[in-house]
Amino acid sequence: MSRENALVSADWVEEHLDDDSIVLIEVDEDTTSYDKGHIRGAIKLDWTTDLQDQVRRDFVNKEQFEALLSERGVGNDHTVVLYGGNNNWFAAYAYWYFKLYGHQDVKLLDGGRKKWELDSRELTDATPTREKTSYTAQEQDHSIRAFRDETVAAIGTQNLVDVRSPDEYSGRLMAPAHLPQEQAQRAGHIPTAANVPWSKAANDDGTFKSDEELKEIYTEAGVDWSKDTIAYCRIGERSSHTWFVLKELLGQDNVKNYDGSWTEYGSLVGVPVVLGEEKGEA
Amino acid sequence: MCGATEGGLSLDGIDVAKEAIIQGRVVRGEEPVGNAYVRLLDRTGEFTAEVPTSATGHFRFFAGNGDWTLRTLAPKADPVDTAVTARKGSVAEVEVAV
């Protein structure tokens, strides 16, 4: 994968608004954003109701994902272009999710909704109607999804990249600062994890930094490019952003997103936790 | 720096005693700016959080004790940095003009 295949600019999206081979999809943390205005022709996926199992903590299964995309009019041959707020956190999460279920052609709009808005580009409240499809998903690709046991086993052996803010990493905050802080789990980080906040990979307008800048940021933080990497955050959406950078922009082979992330790890009984700014020992 | 001010964001349902709240409004002249983005930077200048403003120009963060910077991005305006101090149990109200 490379930047040319995985990322499109706002200009490119504007030029392809009437291209039937493309489906624009908005995915936001604030699931009402789409309803306040979206890019013309875009449909919405709600990460809480469409992409999560509504009983246990997991994703919708293959059959549910197939039914969802069929009903929304997304076909296997469509180029899916994702964008959203929060500097594309949840759009990157959906990108990773589409890859997990084997969709071939997925792209991210560089800068997402913020860049589009700051450029004063057109938004509409008209909802498009799309013909239903018969979508076929693949079995989940676990080469890009990490679970808790392999994350614990990765301590001291693989690259662990904690992409939360320094205050969350050190344990001073429990959640991103736009969310209430009271949580059940413990604060801190996984021993040996490097703290490379997702935001280091993005410019203020939400676009990604250049490949050269990105490579330098992770190298300086101690990422060993010869090793496998697991990225995590609080619930797996910001780490999807970093997974996208490492895997899709920089082309690293074995990069996984640990979607259980801190809300799972910080609630596990008996696992090691480090407080403060040091990585800690294995 | 006290509770919800007149016309400010409602604090209904929020346990203010447990939070260090920074909130306020982005304006251009007299008008609220509803499509701005406010970034919360920590004492070292590192990004901590970002929110889009509401239709009424409002924003809110749940920070920690200490000094923070708000960086406000709005269409057709240069970024504006505003220093603010947050304290658990209180609400820091900020108005940002772009």
**Residue-range domain boundaries for chain B:** 16-97
Tokens standing for B40? Answer: 């919360």
Spatial separation of the C-alpha atoms in residues A233 and A162, rounded to whole Å: 6
For chain A, what's the residue count? 282
d(CA A204, CA A261): 25
For residue A204, the chain B residues in CB contact (below 8 A) are: 39, 71, 73, 79
The pTM for the full model equals 0.89
Q: Which residues from B are below 8 Å from A36, CB to CB?
A: 55
Q: Do B61 and A118 touch (CB under 8 A)?
A: no
Q: Where do the structural domains in chain A lie, given as residue ranges? A: 3-118, 145-265
Question: Which CATH code is given to the segment(s) A145-265?
Answer: 3.40.250.10
Low-confidence stretches of chain A (pLDDT < 70) are 182, 184
| Amino acid A58: pLDDT | 96
Are B15 and B95 in contact by the 8 Å Cβ rule? The answer is: no
Give the residue from A118, A163, A182 with the most B CB atoms within 10 Å of its CB, the best one to mutate: A118
CB atoms within 10 A of CB A30: 15
Across the interface, do A181 and B19 touch by the CB < 8 Å criterion?
yes
DSSP state of A151: H
Of the partner residues B35, B48, B64, the one whose CB lies closest to the CB of residue A117? B35
**Is the CB of residue A172 less than 8 Å away from at least one CB of chain B?**
yes
Does residue B45 belong to the interface with chain A, where contact is any CB pair within 8 Å? no
B38 to chain A, any CB pair closer than 8 A? The answer is: no
Segments in chain B below pLDDT 50: 1-7
Of B46, B62, B75, which has the smallest distance from its Cβ to A178's Cβ? B62
Q: Which residues of B touch A173 (CB under 8 A)?
A: 48, 63-64
CATH fold of A3-118: Oxidized Rhodanese; domain 1 (3.40.250)
CA distances from B86 to B4, B9, B17, B20 (A): 15, 17, 13, 6
Do residue A87 and residue B50 have CB atoms under 8 angstroms apart? yes
Whether A180 has its CB under 8 Å from any CB of chain B: the answer is: yes
SS3 labels along chain A: CCHHHHEECHHHHHHCCCCCCEEEEECCCCCCCHHHCECCCCEECCCCCCCECCCCCCECCHHHHHHHHHHHCCCCCCEEEEECHHHHHHHHHHHHHHHHCCCCCEEEECCHHHHHHHCCCCCECCCCCCCCCCCCCCCCCCCCEECHHHHHHCCCCCEEEECCCHHHHHCCCCCCCCCCCCCCCCCCECCCCEECCHHHHECCCCCECCHHHHHHHHHHCCCCCCCCEEEECCCCCHHHHHHHHHHHHCCCCCEEEECCHHHHHCCCCCCCCECCCCCCCC
Give chain A positions within 8 Å (CB) of B23.
none
Q: A166, B18: Cβ pair inside 8 Å? A: no
User: CB count, 10 Å around CB of B46?
Assistant: 15
Cα A36 from chain centre: 23
| Separation of alpha carbons B64 and B33, rounded Å | 26
pLDDT of residue A196: 96
The whole-angstrom separation of Cα B2 and Cα B87 is: 11
Token duo for residue A106: 């997925």
Contact A177 B48 (CB under 8 A): yes
Q: Which residue of A has its CA nearest to B77?
A: A118
Q: Given this chain, do its domains A3-118 and A145-265 carry the same CATH topology? A: yes
CA distance A111 to chain B (A): 13
Q: Taking CB atoms and an 8 Å cutoff, what residues of chain B touch A178?
A: 40, 49-51, 60-62
Q: Is A233 a catalytic residue?
A: yes
pLDDT of residue A177: 80
Which helix (H) or strand (E) segment holds residue B24: the answer is: strand B20-28
A17 touches chain B (CB under 8 A): no
Catalytic residue among A106, A108, A146, A233: A233
Cβ neighbourhood burial of B76 (10 Å; 0-12, 13-18, 19+): exposed
Q: Which residues contact A144 (CB under 8 A, 6 or more apart)?
A: A96, A99, A100, A243, A247, A255, A256, A257
Q: Is A105 on the interface with B (CB under 8 A)?
A: no
The beta-carbon neighbor of B48 closest among A119, A165, A180 is: A165
CATH number of B16-97: 2.60.40.10
Chain A nearest C-alpha distance from B3 (Å) = 17
CA A124-A129-A130 angle, to 5 degrees, is 125
Tokens 């998903």 belong to residue: A137
**pLDDT at residue B3 in the model:** 39
> Strand, coil or helix: what is A83?
strand
Position B5 scores a pLDDT of 43
